Structure 1
Amino acid sequence: MNDTSGLVDGLLSVAGIFNFYAIFLLFSGGVALWALAKTLNNVSNRLMEKIPARRFFILQISTLLSFALYIFGTVGLLIGVLQPPKELIFAAAGSVAVALGFALKDIAASLVAGILLLFDRPFRVGDRVNFGDTYGEIVSIGLRTVRLVTLDDNLVTIPNSRFITDVVSSGNAGELDMMVVTDFHLALDADIPRARKLLEEVVVTSRYAYLKKPVSFVVEELEVAHMLAIRLRVKAYVLDVRYEKAFQSDIVLRGTQLLNEHKIARPKISSERT
């Protein structure tokens, strides 16, 4: 009888916490948190427009503040409005832990991975990354997922947990500039030193080039369409990752034109079939 009475008292205590006024405050607080996050996002966007050179830093600070706002704001709102007894807090924490451990283990893994990504920082917002067959720019790092935009303007959402176990490479590692690799194929008898000089001229005169870092070349013999050829690889830095493909296109277009004008021999694909 005493056990039944205690259970009833506990249920009534919990029911008393969730009254109409408390629900209204929780709803209002949730809207306020959403409005604050939206305002923070708008302010960061305006700052990035005014200070484009510090774009990555602003995005990283905005992400950290959003994390703190949602986590601490939600916990503070629940405790401040409901003011539950300590026993109920401990019981709720235990229930949440069990639920996350069993029913929501994938989401829990992504949440933990999101926190690890925040401190380990294998990449940052604004980085150009390769993840599997996906290449693009990180636009947000959330509690559960990472979102990146591909060069074809597709938004890709990836669970955080995958970044803990899979390999991911960052092209710029938080920097504004990034190395861009462009290949040119030449015939075996081509004037390679002359071609290298011409392509270097193309790079240093490009409006997208970041000339505080060196331009380098790699010469390699390889097979192209069943014929031996020389691959002249140009390694140069673009001043802003947003101009990666514009920089590469500029090098290819002007480089090809210059090589043709100076009659630098290119591989000729034979029309004969084997």
Structure 2
Amino acid sequence: MNETNGLVDGLLSIAGIFNLYAIFWLIIGGFALWAAAQGLNNLSQRLMGKIPARRFLILQISTLLTFALYIFGTVGLFIAVLQPPKELLFAAAGSVAVALGFALKDIAASLVAGILLLFDRPFRVGDRVSFGDTYGEIVSIGLRTVRLVTLDDNLVTIPNSRFITDVVASGNAGELDMMVVTDFHLALDANLAEAQKLIEEVVVTSRYAYLKKPVAFTLEEVEIAHALAIRLRVKAYVLDVRYEKAFQSDIVQRGTALLAMHNIARPKPLLAV
């Protein structure tokens, strides 16, 4: 009988905490947290427009502040409005831990992975990364997921936990500039020295090139359509990762035209027997 009375008293105590007044202020506080997060996002967008060279740093700080706002703001809101007794706080913490451990283990793993990503930083907001068959720019690192925009303008959402166990490659590692690799294929009897000189001229005159880092070339004999050819690979840096494909297209377009203008031999397809 005493145990039943104790359970009833506990339920009544909890019900007393969640009265209409408390629920009203929880709703107001939740809306205030959302509005603050939106204001922070808008502020970061304006700062990036005024200081584009520091947009990676601004995005990283904005992401960290949003994390802190939602986590500490939610906990502080519940404690300030409901003012629960210590025993209820300990019980609630234990219940949440058990629920996360069993019912929400995948989400909990992603939450922990999200915190690890902030400190380990294998990539940052704004990086161009390759993850499996997906390549694109990291636009947000959330509590549970990472959002990536591909070059085809598709938004891909990936659970944080996958980045802890799988391999991810970052093309620029927090820098604005990034190496762009472009291939040209030449005939075996082509003038390789002249071809390299012409392509280098194309690269260094491109408006997208970042010339504080070196331009490198490699030559390799490869097979194309059952015929041997020379692959001229140029490795150059683009001044901003957002211009990656524009830079590559500029090199290919002007480089192809220049090679043809100087009669640099290109591979010929084999004739059918």
TM-score of the superposed pair, with normalisation by structure 1: 0.99
Is 1:10 aligned with 2:10?
Answer: yes
Structure 2 CA distance for aligned equivalents of residues 88 and 265 of structure 1:
80
Is 1:159 aligned with 2:159?
Answer: yes
Is 1:61 aligned with 2:98?
Answer: no
- Which residue in the other structure is 1:177 paired with? 177
Q: How is 1:125-204 mapped onto 2 (pairs within 5 angstroms)?
A: 125-204=125-204
1:126-155 per-residue CA deviation (whole Å, 9 max, x = no partner) reads 000000000000000000000010000000
- Which residue in the other structure is 2:84 paired with? 84
How many pairs were matched up? 273
Structure 1 CA distance for aligned equivalents of residues 272 and 210 of structure 2:
44
The one-letter amino acid of 1:184's match is: F
1:30-74 per-residue CA deviation (whole Å, 9 max, x = no partner) reads 000000000000000010011100010000000000000000000
Shift of 1:4: 1.4
Residue aligned with 2:212, SS: coil
Q: Which runs of 5+ in 2 are unaligned?
A: none
TM-score of the superposed pair, with normalisation by structure 2: 0.99
Percent of counterpart pairs with the same letter?
84
Residue aligned with 2:185, SS: strand
- Which residue in the other structure is 2:237 paired with? 237
The one-letter amino acid of 1:47's match is: L
- Which residue in the other structure is 1:113 paired with? 113
Structure 2 CA distance for aligned equivalents of residues 219 and 57 of structure 1:
38
- Which residue in the other structure is 2:35 paired with? 35
- Which residue in the other structure is 1:209 paired with? 209
Q: Is the 8 A contact 2:226 2:270 kept in 1?
A: no
Structure 1 CA distance for aligned equivalents of residues 197 and 176 of structure 2:
27
The one-letter amino acid of 1:214's match is: P
Structure 1 CA distance for aligned equivalents of residues 58 and 4 of structure 2:
57
The one-letter amino acid of 1:150's match is: T
Residue aligned with 2:211, SS: coil
Is 1:255 aligned with 2:230?
Answer: no
Structure 1 CA distance for aligned equivalents of residues 269 and 71 of structure 2:
61
The one-letter amino acid of 1:176's match is: L
Shift of 1:271: 2.4
- Which residue in the other structure is 1:21 paired with? 21
- Which residue in the other structure is 1:225 paired with? 225
Runs of 4+ with deviation above 2 angstroms = none
Shift of 1:211: 0.3
Residue aligned with 1:183, SS: strand
Structure 2 CA distance for aligned equivalents of residues 238 and 121 of structure 1:
23
The one-letter amino acid of 1:244's match is: E
1:61-117 per-residue CA deviation (whole Å, 9 max, x = no partner) reads 000000000000000001111111111111111111111111111111110100000
- RMSD between superposed Cα atoms in Å: 0.6
Structure 1 CA distance for aligned equivalents of residues 12 and 38 of structure 2:
38
Q: Which runs of 5+ in 1 are unaligned?
A: none
Is 1:270 aligned with 2:267?
Answer: no
Structure 1 CA distance for aligned equivalents of residues 91 and 67 of structure 2:
25
Structure 1 CA distance for aligned equivalents of residues 183 and 190 of structure 2:
15
Shift of 1:252: 0.1
Residue aligned with 1:89, SS: helix
Structure 2 CA distance for aligned equivalents of residues 221 and 75 of structure 1:
62
1:195-225 per-residue CA deviation (whole Å, 9 max, x = no partner) reads 0000000000000000000000011111111
1:230-249 per-residue CA deviation (whole Å, 9 max, x = no partner) reads 00000000000000000000
